[in-house]
Amino acid sequence: MLERTRDKDQTAVTFVLPPGHPAGETSVVGDFNSWRPGTHRFNPRQDGSRAVTIDLPLDKQFAFRYLAADGWWFDEETADGHDGRNSLLHT
């Protein structure tokens, strides 16, 4: 799930994973972090979900995916779109 807070200078995008899925360390990887795994790792929330927030410039499109333990890549079902390989996010 994606949560967004927009202000005059940027959009804070919070990427959220449901409780227990997937197991193990997971990070969001995309063109906003040069596709570097581990740069934006998910952190636990009190409700059992995990999240990470990234501040991004306004009115841009970004490609991203999630990378979990054992090299398992997966997409965000609620993304703004998909290009056949990646999830897409519009700020």
The domains of the chain, with CATH numbers, are 2-90 (2.60.40.10)
Cis peptide bond prior to 22, omega within 30° of 0: yes
- Cβ-proximal residues to 71 (8 Å cutoff; 6+ apart), any chain: none
Q: State the Cα–Cα distance between residues 40 and 38, nearest whole angstrom.
A: 6
Residue 20 clears pLDDT 90, i.e. is over it: no
Neighbouring C-beta atoms of residue 27, cutoff 10 Å? 18
What's the pLDDT tens digit per position in 35-72? 999 999 999 999 999 999 999 999 999 999 999 998 99
pTM above the 0.85 mark?
yes
pLDDT at res. 42: 97
